[in-house]
Amino acid sequence: MMSALFIAVLNMSITASYAAIGVLLVRPALKKAPKIYAYALWSAVLVRMVAPVTLSSAFSLFGFLQTGDRTEAGRMVFVPPAVGYMQQPEIATGIATLDRAVNVALPEAIVGSSVNPMQLILWGASLVWAAGAVILLAYSMAVYWRTARSVRTATRIMGNVYESDRIGSPFVFGWIRPNIYVPVGLGERELRFIVAHEQTHIRRRDYLVKPIAYLALIVHWFNPLMWLSFAAMSKDMEMACDEGALQSLGGDNRHGYSQALLLLSTGKRNWLQGGPLTFGENHVTARIKRIVRYRRPGKRAMAFAFIAVAALIAGFVVNPAASATINADSGADGNATKNANANIGAGDEQPEPEREPQPQPDSAYVLSTNRVEPAGGGLYDINVEMVNGNHLSEEEAGGPGGGVYPDNYRGIYRLRVVNPLLSTQGSTASVYQGLSEDFGEQALNFAGRFDLALADYNGDGQLDFTLGQWGGSNGDFYCLYTLNARGKIEKLNTGGELYITDHEPSAPLDQVDGTSFAVKYYDQLSGAYKQHVYRWETDKFVRLKE
C-alpha cells in the first residue's frame, strides 16, 4: 500500500516537474506584465502536485513527451504501478538518456525469490519518503504554534490589525479569520503601507494559498524542482501583492512604499518553512527594484497576457490525448471510417502469429473471435477488438520482460458481440467499451490471436470468461465478464481484479462447484503458491475466508 502510494506521488511529481520547467521558462516573457499573471501560472504546477487524474486534450503542452503507451485514463504514468513485479523493471520519463541510465541500474526480478529486489527498493524508498513528510509536517506545526503563542498578547489597534512587542516584522496570521500583526513603534505612514500590503494578501486569499502549496511541497519534498517552484511562487506572490497594494493606495507611493519595505526588512527567508505572510521577508531587493521600475501596461497588453496565461495554464493542466497508428471509430454502432490495413503503421510488416488477426469491415482489429450459443437460444460471436492502437515488435515495445511479447498489439480495446444470423454480415448486437477503465490503463496489450476460456462460473446458465493484463513475473491481473441473456457483455463483481498465476490472455478458472471457483497465486511473503476461493452470492462473487 505504501509503495503504491509512493509510486502515485512519484508520477505526479514528475508531471509537476515538467509543468514547473515550463512555467520557469515562460516567466521571463511576462517580465513587463503584472506579476499576478506569473503568480497565476503556478496554479498549474499545484494542480499537477495534488491531482492524480486530470482531463485529456489535444491542446496539452505535454504532447512532446515520449513515454510509450504506458498511460492510464486521466493519468500520466512514468513509473508503472507494477514496476516492483516486473521481470525487468523500467521507467519512461520522456528523457531517453535518463531512462537508459535508470533502467540499467534497476535490478531484475529473481525467479523463485519470495520478494523481488525492486519491491524492497520501493518499500525502503516509501518509508524514507513518509518519514521526511512527517518530519516536515511536524516542524511546520511547531512553527505555527510558536507564532500563535507570540501573538497571543497582541493588542488591537484598528479593524483586524493588531500590535505586539513580541514580533519583529508585520505578517498575516490565521486561516479562518486572518488578522494583521505589526510590531510596536511603527509610524502612521509605514503602518498605512503595511496594512495595504497585508489586506491585499487577505483579499486574494494568499493566507490559504501558501499553506496549501506548502502542504503539497511536503508531499513532494524529495523533488528539488518543487522547492525551487515554491520559492519562485512565493516571490511572485509578494511582488503581485506589492503591485496590488500600490494600486489600492492610489497616486505615486512607490518611494515611500520602498522605504517602508527596506526599513522592515529582516533578512530572513521563511519560505522554506511555509510560515505566515510577512511584509519584510523574502526577496526585498528584487521587490524594491520591481516597485521602482514598474509601469502598468496598456489594456491590450493586459488582455493579451491574460489570454496567454489562461491558455498556458490549461495546456499544463490537461494530459495529451491518446494517439495511435490504428484509428477506428469506437462508437457504439461499431462503424469506422478507415481501413486498418492502411493504418497499421508505415513500413510495418504484417505480423505472423499462429492465427493472424484480421481487419473487420469497421476497421477494428480482431484478436479473438468466439462463437457461442447462449442458454436462451440464438448464436453470437464475442470479439475482442483493438480499435485504436498499434502493432509493435518486441524491440519496439521496449525489450523482453515486463509484459512485452514477440508481437504486441497495444491500444484501446472493446468487446463486440456480433449476431451472425442477421442479414447484414457482422451486424453488431452490443459493444462493451469499459476495458480500459476496468484495468485502470488506457492502453491494453495482447500478444496476438487467442481464444476466450468460456465457462459458467455462477450457475446462471450464461457463459463467463476472463481477460488479463500483465501483473508481474508470477502472474497476471484478470477481470471476469459474462454474456447475458440479452446478448450484452457485463463485468461480474469479484471485489477487484483477480491476481492469478497465469499469463494467458483469457485464463480458465478452477471450478469448485456450480457457483464457486478457485484461483491460484504466488504469495511473495511466504514464497509459496496459495489459492483464493470465490462463491457467487446474489449479485457478486465473494472471496471466502481461508
Answer yes or no: do 521 and 400 share one domain. Answer: yes
Q: ∠517-519-521 over CA atoms, to 5°?
A: 170
Answer yes or no: do 313 and 369 share one domain. Answer: no
Answer yes or no: do 150 and 234 share one domain. Answer: yes
**Average model confidence (pLDDT) across the chain:** 82
Using CA atoms, how far apart are residues 25 and 23, in angstroms rounded to an integer?
A: 5
CB atoms within 10 A of CB 437: 13
| 31-86 pLDDT tens trace | 888 999 999 999 999 999 999 888 878 888 887 765 444 445 567 888 877 777 76
Give exposure, 9-21, as e/b (b: 16+ Cβ within 10 Å).
Answer: bbbbbbbbbbbbe
- 323 lies in some domain: no
**Poorest-pLDDT segment among 227-241, 378-392, 491-505:** 378-392
Answer yes or no: do 129 and 51 share one domain. Answer: yes
Using CA atoms, how far apart are residues 220 and 47, in angstroms rounded to an integer?
A: 13
Distances (CA, A) of 439 to 422, 466, 468, 497, 542: 33, 12, 9, 8, 20
Answer yes or no: do 457 and 532 share one domain. Answer: yes
- 151 lies in some domain: yes
Using CA atoms, how far apart are residues 542 and 493, in angstroms rounded to an integer?
A: 9
- 360 lies in some domain: no
> Which residue type occupies 302?
M
Task: Evaluate if residue 383 carries a pLDDT over 70.
Answer: yes
Give exposure, 162-194, as e/b (b: 16+ Cβ within 10 Å).
Answer: bbbeebebbbbbeeeebbbbbbeebeeebbbbb
- 328 lies in some domain: no
Answer yes or no: do 244 and 107 share one domain. Answer: yes
| Of residues 336 and 526, more confidently modeled | 526
Task: Evaluate if residue 107 carries a pLDDT over 60.
Answer: yes
> Which residue type occupies 194?
I
Task: Evaluate if residue 401 carries a pLDDT over 80.
Answer: no
Answer yes or no: do 306 and 374 share one domain. Answer: no
Q: ∠398-402-407 over CA atoms, to 5°?
A: 60
- 223 lies in some domain: yes
- 349 lies in some domain: no
What pLDDT score was predicted for residue 232? 93
Number of domains in the chain: 2
Answer yes or no: do 313 and 372 share one domain. Answer: no
> Which residue type occupies 467?
L
| 250-267 pLDDT tens trace | 767 888 888 888 777 654
Distances (CA, A) of 76 to 93, 126, 411, 440, 441: 10, 20, 15, 12, 10
- 415 lies in some domain: yes
Query: Residues 434-440: what's their mean pLDDT?
Result: 90
Give exposure, 317-329, as e/b (b: 16+ Cβ within 10 Å).
Answer: bbbbebebbbbbe
For 437, the domain range is 365-543
Instruction: Report which DSSP code applies to 129.
Output: H
Cell 478457485 sits on residue: 518
Cβ atoms of residues 325 and 56 within 8 Å: no
Grid coordinates given for 67: 513515454
Query: Is residue 466 classed exposed, middle or buried when 0-12, 13-18 and 19+ CB atoms within 10 A define those classes?
Result: buried
Nearest to 387 by CA among 410, 412, 370: 412
- The count of residues in the chain is 546
Q: ∠27-31-33 over CA atoms, to 5°?
A: 105
Using CA atoms, how far apart are residues 379 and 418, in angstroms rounded to an integer?
A: 9
Cβ atoms of residues 381 and 360 within 8 Å: no
Answer yes or no: do 255 and 373 share one domain. Answer: no
What pLDDT score was predicted for residue 333? 37
Task: Evaluate if residue 378 carries a pLDDT over 80.
Answer: no
Cell 483469457 sits on residue: 506
Grid coordinates given for 79: 513509473
Give the global pTM: 0.60
What pLDDT score was predicted for residue 429? 73
Answer yes or no: do 85 and 162 share one domain. Answer: yes
- Relative to beta strand 407-418, strand 358-359 is unpaired
Answer yes or no: do 190 and 43 share one domain. Answer: yes
Answer yes or no: do 438 and 528 share one domain. Answer: yes
In the chain, pLDDT over 90 holds for what percent of residues? 44
Task: Assign 484 to helix, strand or coil.
Answer: coil
- 335 lies in some domain: no
Using CA atoms, how far apart are residues 251 and 262, in angstroms rounded to an integer?
A: 20
